[in-house]
A and B are shown apart, each in its own frame.
Chain A
Amino acid sequence: MSSTRSSTRKRLTLALMGATALGAVVASAASLGGLTSSSLGANDTVVASCDIDGVAIAYTNAYDSASGRYRTTSVTVSGVAAACNGQNIAITLRDTGGASIGSGAATVTGTSQAIALTAPAPAEAVTGAAVVVTG
C-alpha cells in the first residue's frame, strides 16, 4: 500500500513539473509586451480594359546564316486603342508546349507598336503569343 502511494506521488510530481514548465512557456509568450499593427483597410474597383476589341500581331523574322534558320526578332502589335497610349506593353512568345521562348516590352506610342525581343526566338517554334498592357 505504502509502495502504491509512493508511486502515485511520483507520477503526480512529474505531471506537476511538466505543467509548470508548460505554464512557464506560455507565460513567457505573454510577456513580450504586446503586439502593435498598422491600420489596415480594404476596397475594390473595376479594372477596365483600355482596348476592348482585341489586337493583332505580326512577326519580323531574320535569316540567321550561322544556323540556317529564321529567327523572330520583333513583334508588331497592331489595333491598339488610343486609351492604351503611354502604358507598358509586353509580349511573350510560346511554343507548342506553351513554354516561353522569347519576350519583349515597350511603351505604347500609337495604334501599332513594335516590340523588340530581348533575344531572338527560333521562328519555326513560335505558335502564339500573350500580350499584356499594364499601367
Chain B
Amino acid sequence: MTEFLQLVISGLAVGCIYGLVALGFVLVYKATELFNFAHGDLMMVGAFLIVTTVVTMGLPMWLSAVLVIAAAALMGIVIQFVLVRPMLGQPLLAVVMVTIGLSLIIRAAMLIAYGPIERSFPSPIPRRTYIWGGVRVSLSDLIIIGLTVLCLLLFALFFKRSRLGLEMRATAEHFEASVLSGINANKVFTIALALGTILAALGGMFLANLGVVNLGLGEIGLLAFPAIVIGGLQSIHGAVIGGLIVGVVEKLGAGYLGNDVKYVVVYAVLLLVLLVRPYGLFGEREIVRV
C-alpha cells in the first residue's frame, strides 16, 4: 500500500505540471478554438527564461518569476497579433499548420540563443523530504502541488467573479452572440493567449525546479495532449484533472509494469476514456444539426 501511495503522490506532483500546461492550452482553445501545437515549446521557453534570470542575471527568484510571467504575457500578445489574428476564420488545418510552424521557429530560436547544452537550475527550494507513514514527499513536490492548487483557485475566481472572465466565458460559449452583446472579442482573444502562455511558462518554471533544462522539455508538453483529451477539450477543471490522471497513471505504470510501458498505459487509459466518453470526462457533448 505504501508503494502505491508513493507512486500516486509522485504522479500527482508531475501531474500538476501537466495540468497547468493543459489548463493554458484549454484556455486558449475555449476562447479562440486555436489548437496550439507550440504550447509545449512555450513551456520550454519559460524554463530557459527562469534559468537566464536566476543563473545568468543573478536576480532573486521572486523577481525572476515576475519577469518571466511578464515576458510570457508579452509573448502571448505577440503571437495573438502576428499569427492568430490574421488566421481567424481560416480553415482549421491552416491554423494548425501555423502553430506547428511556430513550434519549429521557437525551437530553432532557442537552439540559436542557448545552444543545445543542458543547463542545471539551482532550485531555491531546499532539498527536504518528509516521510509520512512511509510515504516520501519532497518539499518541491508539495510546493508545486500547492502552487498549482493556488493557480486553479485564482483562475476559477477570475472566470466566475471578474467581468473579463465572464466575457471570456461568453465568447467561448457563443462567439457571434458575445460580439453582438458588445464584448470586444479581440481583447478576449489577446488576454486568453497571454494567460495561456503564462500558464505554459509557469509549468516550465516548475519543471526547471526539478533539475535540468534542455530543448527536450518541449516534448514533455506533449503529455498535456492526453490530459486535455481525457479531461475534455473544453473543460477548464477537466484539463487539470486530466493532467493529474496522466501523471498518476504514468507513475503507476512505470512502478508496476516498468518504465518501458508507462506511456502505453497512459494512452490505453486515453483510449478507454474515449470509448466510454468520446468528449472526455468533463467535456460537453456537441450536438450538431445535420
On whether the two chains bind one another, the answer is no
